[in-house]
A and B are shown apart, each in its own frame.
Chain A
Amino acid sequence: MGELLKIDLTYSNYHTVFPKLIIYLLTLLGIVLIIKNVVNKMKIKKTAKKEDIHNQEIDKDQPKEKFNVTMFVGTVILLIIYGFALDWFGFLFTTIIFIILTTLLYIGSVNKKAILISISNAAATTMIIWLVFGKLFDITLP
Chain B
Amino acid sequence: MEFLNVLSPLAIVLCFLGVFLGIILGAIPGMTATMAIAIFLPLTYSLDLIDSLGLLLGLYVGGISGGLIPAILINIPGTPSSLCTTFDGYPMTQKGEAEKALKLGISASVFGGFFSLIVLYFFAPILSTVAVDFSSVEKFLIIVFALTVIASISQGSLLGGIFSGILGILISLIGTFPDNNELRFVPEGLETQLMYGFDLVPVLIGLFAIGQLLEEAENGMKNTASKNLKLDSKENKFKFSMLLKQKMNVFRSAIIGTFIGILPGVGGSAASITAYSQAKNFSKKPEKFGTGEPEGLVASEAANNGLIGGALVPLLSLGIPGDSTTAILLGAFLLQGVQVGPLFIPSNPDLWSGIVIALVIANIAMFVILFFTIKYFAKIIFVPKYILFPIIIVACVVGSYAINNGIMFDVWTLFLFGFLGYIFPKIGVQIPSFLIGFILGTNAEKYFIDSLKASDGDLTIFFTKGPISIVLWVLILGSLLYSVINIFKSKNKQGASL
Q: Give A contacts to B, CB under 8 Å.
A: 5-9, 11-12, 14-19, 22-23, 25-26, 29-30, 32-33, 36, 65-68, 71-72, 74-76, 79-80, 82-83, 86-87, 95, 98-99, 102-103, 106-108, 117, 121-122, 125-126, 129, 133, 137-142
Q: How far is the CB of A67 from chain B (nearest CB, A)?
A: 6
Does B220 lie within 8 Å of A83, measured CB to CB?
no
Give the total number of A-B pairs whose CB atoms are below 8 A apart: 160
7 residue pairs, one from A and one from B, having the closest CB atoms: A15-B177, A106-B386, A140-B406, A68-B220, A15-B182, A9-B457, A18-B445
Does B9 sit within 8 A of A, measured CB to CB? no
Inter-chain contacts of A72 with B (CB < 8 A): 214, 217-218
A102 to B389, CA, bound (A): 9
Does B1 sit within 8 A of A, measured CB to CB? no
Inter-chain contacts of B452 with A (CB < 8 A): 7, 9, 17
Inter-chain contacts of B42 with A (CB < 8 A): 138
Does B180 lie within 8 Å of A12, measured CB to CB?
yes
Does A142 lie within 8 Å of B408, measured CB to CB?
yes
Does B412 lie within 8 Å of A83, measured CB to CB?
yes
Does A5 lie within 8 Å of B460, measured CB to CB?
yes
A30 to B453, CA, bound (A): 30
Pairs A–B under 8 Å by Cβ, sample size 25: A9-B449, A9-B456, A12-B180, A15-B179, A15-B182, A19-B173, A25-B166, A26-B166, A26-B167, A65-B219, A66-B220, A68-B217, A68-B219, A71-B221, A72-B217, A75-B214, A79-B210, A86-B408, A102-B393, A121-B390, A121-B391, A122-B390, A133-B398, A141-B398, A142-B411
Inter-chain contacts of B169 with A (CB < 8 A): 22
Does A18 lie within 8 Å of B406, measured CB to CB?
no
Inter-chain contacts of A117 with B (CB < 8 A): 386-387
Inter-chain contacts of B395 with A (CB < 8 A): 129
Inter-chain contacts of B2 with A (CB < 8 A): none
Does A106 lie within 8 Å of B221, measured CB to CB?
yes
A72 to B387, CA, bound (A): 17
Does B398 lie within 8 Å of A86, measured CB to CB?
no
Inter-chain contacts of B445 with A (CB < 8 A): 18-19
B interface majority secondary structure: helix
**Which of A107, A126, A139 has the most C-beta atoms of chain B within 10 angstroms of its own C-beta?**
A139
Output the nearest chain A residue to B221 by Cβ-Cβ distance: A106
Residues facing A in B381-419 (CB within 8 A) are 385-387, 389-391, 393-395, 397-398, 401-402, 405-406, 408, 411-412, 415, 418-419
Does B448 lie within 8 Å of A18, measured CB to CB?
yes
Q: Give B contacts to A, CB under 8 Å.
A: 39-40, 42, 157, 159-160, 162-163, 166-167, 169-170, 173, 176-177, 179-180, 182-185, 210, 213-214, 217-221, 385-387, 389-391, 393-395, 397-398, 401-402, 405-406, 408, 411-412, 415, 418-419, 444-445, 448-449, 452-453, 456-460
A71 to B412, CA, bound (A): 21
Given A98-B390, A106-B389, A121-B391, A142 contacting B398 (CB threshold 8 A): yes
Given A83-B415, A141-B402, A11 contacting B163 (CB threshold 8 A): no
Inter-chain contacts of A32 with B (CB < 8 A): 159
A69 to B79, CA, bound (A): 32
A13 to B13, CA, bound (A): 54
Inter-chain contacts of A83 with B (CB < 8 A): 408, 411-412, 415
Output the nearest chain B residue to A121 by Cβ-Cβ distance: B387
